[in-house]
Structure 1
Amino acid sequence: MNRLIHEKSPYLLQHANNPVDWYPWCDEAFKEAKEKDKPIFLSIGYSTCHWCHVMEKESFEDEEVAKMLNDTFICIKVDREERPDIDSIYMMYCQMMTGHGGWPLTIIMTPDKKPFFSATYIPKETVYNRIGMKDLIKRIDDLWKNDRKKLLDSSEKLYRELWKLNNEDKKGTLNKEDVFETVEEFKVVFDRLHGGFNKRPKFPIPHNLLFLMSVYAENKDEEIKEMVTKTLDHMMRGGIFDHVGFGFHRYSTDREWKLPHFEKMLYDQALLTLTYAEAYRMFKYEKYREVVEKVIEYVKRDLTSKEGAFYSAEDADSEGVEGKFYTFTLEELKNILDEEEFKIANKVYNLFEEGNFEEEATGEKTGQNILYKTQDYDEYKEKLEVIREKLYKFRENRIRPLRDEKILTDWNGLMIASLSRAGFILNNSEYINMAKRAADFILNLSKDGLKHRYKDGEYSIEPILDDYAFFTWGLIELYLSSQEVKYLKEALMLIDKMIENYLDKEKGGFFLTKETKELILRCKEIYDGAVPSGNSVASYVLYLAYRITGDTKYLDLSKGILNCFAKEIRAIKSAHSFAMLVQDLILSEPIDVVIASKDIKEVERFIEPVRSKYIKNLLVISKTKDEDERLIPHIREIQIKDEPLAYVCKNFTCGLPKNINEFLKDKLLLS
C-alpha cells in the first residue's frame, strides 16, 4: 500500500494499492521533489470516471510503468471533486496547451508547481501518433536530465501567459441586447432533430434551458419553446435516462441521447430536477412532473446518507465493465418478462439480438441493450411499470457500481435548492423536508466554519467559492419554499462571509479560493460548464438577497460580478447561460407577493395558486411575526391583521391589500 491508504477520498483509495508510490497533494511531496531533484507527475481524476479506471488498469497497476514513474517522478494523485481549486488551475493549463480538457488530467511540472506538459488519458503504449506512458516517461526523463533549461523556460512562459489571462481586464456592461443575442447563439447550435446543442457528445447543461425558459416567459418565442421541450423530451426518452432505476447518466456519447457514459452525478440530478420542475410549471406537461418525481426517488433511494445529506456519484463501471449494471441481453429480457411483456419492451425500448450498445473505442456491438424510447408510448404506461419493476428486481441482484460516499457542501447546496423549488412547485412537503434534513446536517457541521467535504465523520478541506454560493442558494430556496426565516438568516450570514473571504476588492468578482500560498494562481471563473460557475451563482444569490431584504449593496455586488466578466461573457454568451439568466432577471421587473397572516396555514391558501404558475421574477414572502421584518425591512409597513391579506408588490412598491377572493382575481394570476 502507498500513502493514499490514509486518505478519505474514494478515488484516492482506489489507487492505494497501486505499485506507483503515490503522494496525496501535500507539502511533503513537493519537498521530496526538490530534495531528489525530480519533476512532479500529477494525475487528477474522480472515482466514477471511466477513462480514469482504464488508465489505472493499463499503467498505474502495471509494475513496469510504475517503476518508471517512481524512478523518474514524484507522483501525486488528486481527487478533482475534493480539490476543485487544484483541478481548476491545471485544467486551465491543459486547455491552454492542448486546446481541450477532460479527465483523467495528466500534468508534468516542476517542483515549484509550474507545468511543462499536459494531457488527458494516456495509453500505456504509443498508438496512432498518440504517445504512450512508457515513451513519454523516457522522453521527459531525458529532457529533465539533458535539456532542463528548455523545460524550465517552457514552464515559466506558460505560467506568465496563464497569469496574464487570469488577471486581464474583462470589465464592461451587459444589457438586454446581450440577453437576446445569447438566445440567438443557442438557435444557431440547436439540434432540431434530437434536441440539445451541438452534435456529439451531448451534455445536459440544464442551466441553458433555465435561461431559455426565463426569456420565453417574457417574449413567448415559439422557437425557444421548441428548444426547451424537444431537448427535455429527448433526454427523458433516451438512454441517458435510466428507465429502470431512474436518475440521469452523465452525458450521451451520440447525437440522439441514446448511448450514455453511465456514471450518475449528484449535480446532474439536482439541476435536471430543477429544470424539469420549472418546465412542468411553465408548459403543464404531466410527463415533466413524472421525471421530477422519478429523479428524486432515485436520489432518495440511492444517494441519500443516513444523516440526510447526499452522496456524490455512482460509477459508470461495475465488475470492471462500463455499463454492465445497466444493460441487458435479449436472452436475459426473455427470461425476466413474459411473452406479452417482452413484445412491448422490444417495441418500446429498441432492442436487438446483437445489442444496441456499441464499444466506444471499436464501434462493435456488445450484445447488450440500453433501454431507450423514441416516443412516449402512453398507451403502455401501466404495463411498462410492471416491466420496469421486474427489471429493477432482477438488476438489484447484480454487483452494483461503486458509490462515492463523500458529501460535498457545494453539490449538496444544489440538491437542497432543487428539492426546495420542486417541493414548492409540486406542493410536496416530503421534498422540502429532504432539503431541510440535508441543510440542517451541514449547518450543524459548519458551526465552526464551512468546509468542503464530509466523509466518515470528518468535515474538512478548505471551502471554495462554490461551497458558499451553492449552499447559500440552497438555503435561500429552502426559505422561500418553507417560509422558515432561520434559513434566510443563515444564508445572509454566509453571504457576508463569502464577501469577506472571496471578493476581489480591487477588480470585482469573486476568487475561487481564499488567499493561500499553497496554489500558484488565485483563479476567478465565470464559465458555466457542467454546473454553473461559482461567480454566476454568487451573482444570483446576491440578487435574491437584494430582492428579499431590499438592501442595494447586494444588487451592486450582483451586477458587479457580471460586469467584471462582461468581455469574457460577450465572447461566447451561450457558454455563460447562468450568468445571462441572472442578467435577464436583473433587467426584468421584480414582483413580490407578500402574505401577512397570524396563521401560517392561511398563508398556504394564497401560495397555492402561485406555486403552479410560472411568473417571471416572482418571489413569495410571508409575514407571520413582527420579527420577520428585521431581516426583511421593506415589509415593515405591512400590518398583520385579523384577516389574512396578500400584497402584490412591484419594484418594492406594494398595491392595496387583497383577501383570498380578491387575490385569486388579480391580473397577476389571470394573465
Structure 2
Amino acid sequence: MTHENRLANEKSPYLLQHKNNPVDWWPWCDEAFETARREDKPVFLSIGYSTCHWCHVMEKESFEDEEVATLMNDAFVSIKVDREERPDLDNLYMTVCHLMTGQGGWPLTVLLTPDKQPFFAGTYFPKQSHYGRPGMLDLVPQVKEAWQTRRGEVEESAGKITGHLRAFAAGDLSEKSGGLIGEPEMDQAYAQLAERFDVRWGGFGTAPKFPSPHVLLFLLRMWARHGKTDGLAMVEKTLAAMRAGGMFDHVGFGFHRYATDREWLVPHFEKMLYDQAMLTLAYTEAYQITRKPAYRGTVKEVLAYVLRDMRSPEGGFYSAEDADSEGEEGRFYVFSTAEVEKILGPDDALLVQKAYAMKPEGNFLEEATGKRTGANILHLPKGLDAVAAELDMDEKQLMEKLMHARKLLFAAREQRVRPLLDDKILADWNGLMIAAMARAGRALEEPDYIRAAEAAADFILTKMRDDSGRLLHRYREGEAGLPAHAEDYAYFLWGLVELFEATFDSRWLEAAVALADDFLERFRDHERGGFFYTASDAEELLARPKEGQDAATPSANSVAMLVFTRLARLLGAPDYETYAEEIARAFYPEASQHPAAYTFMLCAVDTARGKSMEVVIAGDERDETWQAMRRAVDARFLPGAVFLGTRPGLEKIAPWTESLIPKNGRTTAYVCEERACKNPVTDAAALEALLEESLTNG
C-alpha cells in the first residue's frame, strides 16, 4: 500500500503532490506547532507551488528519498505550504530569507522554533553537499545537534531575526514624513529604467529576464502624458522581442514565466495566469496607441490560450501550467527537426525550420550536462519578410503556410503527456484576468472576452464568498476556502471596475462598492494609511506587513490606489480619493528612495495627479451614434479617463450623472476634464475631436 501523509486531505495541487512522500508532512495548522512543542523539535517549513521546477527537483532528490525523510522525521516537525494558497505566509518568510541571505526564491526553506520564530532560511538544498551548498544529509544532523546542545544560541538568534522582521515590516512607513509620491519619483523611475534598458534585446537588465508588464504600463503613461519620447520605443522593443522569442509559445500560444537568457530564447516553461493577464494589458495598450496588428494578434493569441486551456467549466480561470512533463522541463514544448519533418513533410518542415530557426542539433541545452539534445525551442529571430526573401516566397504565402503548419504541430503536440494543470481558482489572479479581458474586449471589439470576464466575476461573487459576503481566496473541486488577502480584494476590485466600463452594467459597480467598503473595514491602516496584507481578524503572524513594492504582479496597495481613484471619479465619491492619497503618503519614504520598484504605484499616481477625464454617453445603446461614440472611446489610450453609460439605475449609485441626459432626444456625450465639463456633443466626430484635443494637451 502506498504511504500517505497528512497532506492527502488537502485541496492544494501542490500539497497533494507531496502526499506520498515518506516525509511526515503536516499542513500549516496549530496542531503541527503544538506537536513541535510537545516533542521539543524545530519546524522545517517548506514553501513552494505546483508548477515550480526546482520544487520538483528538491522533492525528487530529498523529500522522496527514504534516507533524507528518516532524518527529517527524526529531527523536525515538517510543514508544507502552497505559496499560492497562503501568500501571507510566503510573503512573511520570504522576507526573512531576504533579510538573512540577501536573496530568495522557491522552494523556500525556513527553520522555525515551535512558536514560529525563524532561525535559518534558504531556498533549494540538494541531498548531498556540493560546491559550498549544504545538502540535506549534512544540514539536518547539524540543525538537530544545534537544537539539542546550543538551544540558547538558536533561540537568541530567532528572537533577533524576529525583531528585524517586525522592524522591516513597520519600516519607514512608521515615519510621518509628510511626503507624497509625485512627478519627481516618476521622473527618477523613468531614468532608472532607461539606464537599465537593454537596447539590443529589449527588457531590463541581463539574465534572467522577467516580462514585468507593470513596468511597460508605466512607460506607456510616461510617453503619453509626460512627454518621455523614448518610453514607447522601449515598450515596443520589449513587446516585439518577447513575442518573437522562446518565451512565447508559438504553437499553443501564451507566455512562459520568464527567460533564463538575455535574448528571450530559453524560457522557464511554466505558464502563470497572472502573466497572461498583465501581458494582455500591455499588448492591448500598445495596440491602442499604435494600432499595429501584431499587438492585436498577440492579445488574441494569449486569450485564445487562456480560454482554451485555463478556463474552468464554471467560468473561473485556473492558476498555472507546469514547466515539467515526464520528468523534464520543457519536454512538452520542444521539437526536433526530425519530428517536424514527420508531422509536416519535407517541404513545409523546411519552411518551419527556417522561420523558427530550428537546428538538427537543437538549440535547447540539457539542464544537467549543458549538452544539446536535438530539441528546439521555436522562436522567430528574423522577420517573416526576411525569411520569405530567403526562401524566394511571397510573405503572405509564407504566413499562410506557417499558420497551417502550426495547427498540425499543435495537433501533434496535444498527443503528448501534458504538463500538470494547477486547477485551483484564485480570486486575486482571476481579478487580473477579468480586468485584462474586459479591457481587451473593449479595445479589440471582441464581446466574447467581455462575456468571459462577466462569467468569471459571477463565479467569484457566487462561489468564492462566505455566508457574510466576505471574499475567499481559493476554490477547488467545489469548495471555496481560505480568507482573502489584500491582493484578492484589490485585484478583483480592479476587474469589477474594468467590467463596469466594458458593459455599463451597474451591478458590477455596486459589487465593487460593497467589496471596497469591506476591504476598507478589514485591511486599512487607519493610523498611517495604506492596506495591510492580511485582514484585521486573520491569523496572527509574527508581523503584519504592508506591501507597496511590485513583484511579479503589482502590489495590492498599488492596485488599490488606482482602483480607489477611479471609483472616486466614477461615483463622485471624494472619500475614495482620500484613501488613494493616503497610500501615496504611506509609501513615500521607500518609493522616493527606490521609485523603479514601484512602477504600478506610479501608474496610479499618474491617474491621481494627471489630468482627470470623465466621459459619459447618454442615450440608447442600440443607436448607431451611441455605438460609434463607444468605439471612439474604446479605441483610444486614455489612461486618466473613466467611462460611463447612463443606463437606468446608474443615478442611484453615481448621483452626479443624473442630469446627464440625451439632448433633444439624441445620443449625447459629456466630456469633463479637471472637474469642469465641456459642451455636450451629439455626434461621434465631435466626441473624437474632444478626445484628440485631450490627448494632444496631455
Using the size of structure 2 for normalisation, the TM-score is 0.94
Q: Where does residue 415 of structure 2 map in the other structure? A: 397
Matches for 1:355-370 after TM superposition, within 5 Å: 355-370=362-377
The amino acid of 1:597's aligned partner reads G
1:409 to 413, 416, 427: 427
State whether structure 2 residue 168 is matched by structure 1 residue 168.
no
Counterpart in the other structure of 1:249: 256
Structure 2 match to 1:467:
488
Displacement of 1:665: 5.5
- Superposed CA deviations along residues 376-404 of structure 1, whole A, max 9, x for unmatched, are 31522111101111110110110000000
Aligned residues: 670
The alpha-carbon deviation at position 664 of structure 1 amounts to 4.4
* Distance change >3 Å, CA 652–CA 345, structure 1 → 2: same
Deviation, 1:179, is 1.0
* Separation (CA, whole Å) in 2 of partners of 1:447 and 1:655: 45
Displacement of 1:662: 5.4
Residue 562 of structure 1 deviates from its aligned partner by 1.8
Report if aligned partners of 1:646, 1:663 keep a CA contact under 8 Å in 2: no
Residue in structure 2 matched with residue 52 of structure 1 by the alignment = 55
Structure 2: stretches of 5+ with no match in the other structure: 386-394
Listed one character per residue, the Cα deviations across residues 255-285 of structure 1 (whole Å, up to 9, x for unaligned) are 0000001000000001111110110001111
Take 1:242 and 1:562, find their aligned partners in 2: how far apart are those partners? Answer: 38
User: For each residue in 1:508-562, what CA deviation from the matched residue of structure 2 results, as whole angstroms up to 9, or x when unmatched?
Assistant: 1110101334422111111111000111111111111111112111111101112
Match of 1:573 among 595, 603, 611: 595
Partner secondary structure for residue 154 of structure 1: helix
Residue of structure 2 equivalent to 1:144: 147
**Structure 1 residue 617 and structure 2 residue 624: aligned?**
no
Deviation string for 1:328-353 (max 9, x for gaps)?
11211121122221221121111112
Distance 1:662-1:198 versus aligned 2 partners, 3 A rule: closer
1:430 aligns with 2:448: yes
Return the letter of the residue paired with 1:390.
L
Cα displacement string for residues 177-197 of structure 1 (whole angstroms, at most 9, x for unaligned residues): 211111111001000010000
Separation (CA, whole Å) in 2 of partners of 1:272 and 1:661: 31
Residue 7 (structure 1) aligned with residue 7 (structure 2): no
Percent sequence identity over matched residues? 47
What one-letter code is carried by the residue in structure 2 that aligns with 1:552? Answer: P
Q: For 1:453 and 1:595, how far apart are their aligned partners in 2? A: 38
Local SS of the residue matching 1:406? strand
Kindly indicate whether the alpha-carbon contact (under 8 Å) linking 1:610 and 1:669 is maintained by their aligned counterparts in 2.
no
Q: Is the 8 A contact 1:623 1:640 kept in 2?
A: no
Matched, 1:384 2:402: yes
1:13-34 deviation digits (Å, cap 9, x = unpaired): 0000000000000011000000
TM normalised by structure 1 equals: 0.98
Residues 203-239 of structure 1, C-alpha deviation per residue, up to 9 Å, x if partnerless? Answer: 1010100011011112443321221000000000000
What's 1:278 paired with?
Answer: 285
Q: Secondary structure at the match of 1:592?
A: strand
Contact 2:670 2:681 in 1 (8 A): yes
**How far apart are the structure 1 equivalents of 2:621 and 2:251?**
43
**Distance across 2 between alignment mates of 1:73 and 1:179:** 48
1:82-101 pair list within 5 angstroms? 82-101=85-104
**SS, match of residue 620 in structure 1:** strand
Write the distance in 2 (CA, Å) between the matches of 1:667 and 1:658.
Answer: 9
- Which of 196, 207, 212 is 2:214 aligned to? 207
SS in 1 for 2:201: coil
Distance 1:662 1:354, change over 3 A: closer
Q: Distance in 2 between matches of 1:505 and 1:457?
A: 36
Which residue identity does 1:387 align to in structure 2? A
CA-to-partner distance for each residue in 1:390-419, whole Å, 9 max, x for gaps? 110110110000000000000000000000
8 Å CA contact 2:72, 2:140 repeated in 1: yes
Number of the residue aligned with 2:545: 523
**Correspondence for 1:648 among 645, 668, 671:** 671
Corresponding position: 1:476 with 2:479: no
- Which amino acid counterpart does residue 350 of structure 1 have in structure 2? A
Q: String of CA shifts for 1:271-313, please: whole Å, max 9, x gaps.
A: 1111101100011110000000000000000000000110000
> Contact 2:33 / 2:114 at 8 angstroms: preserved in 1?
yes
Structure 2 residue aligned with 1:322: 329
Contact kept? 2:270, 2:321, Cα under 8 Å: yes
- For the 8 Å contact 2:255–2:275, the answer to whether it is kept is yes
Distance 1:107 1:549, change over 3 A: same
Counterparts of 1:439 and 1:341, CA distance in 2: 43
Instruction: Tell me whether 653-662 or 96-105 shows the greater mean CA deviation.
Output: 653-662
Contact 2:172 2:590 in 1 (8 A): no
Task: Find the aligned partners of 2:316 and 2:5 in 1 and give their Cα distance.
Answer: 31
CA contact (8 A) 1:600 1:624 kept: no
Structure 1 gap segments, 5+ residues each = none
1:168 aligns to what SS in structure 2? helix
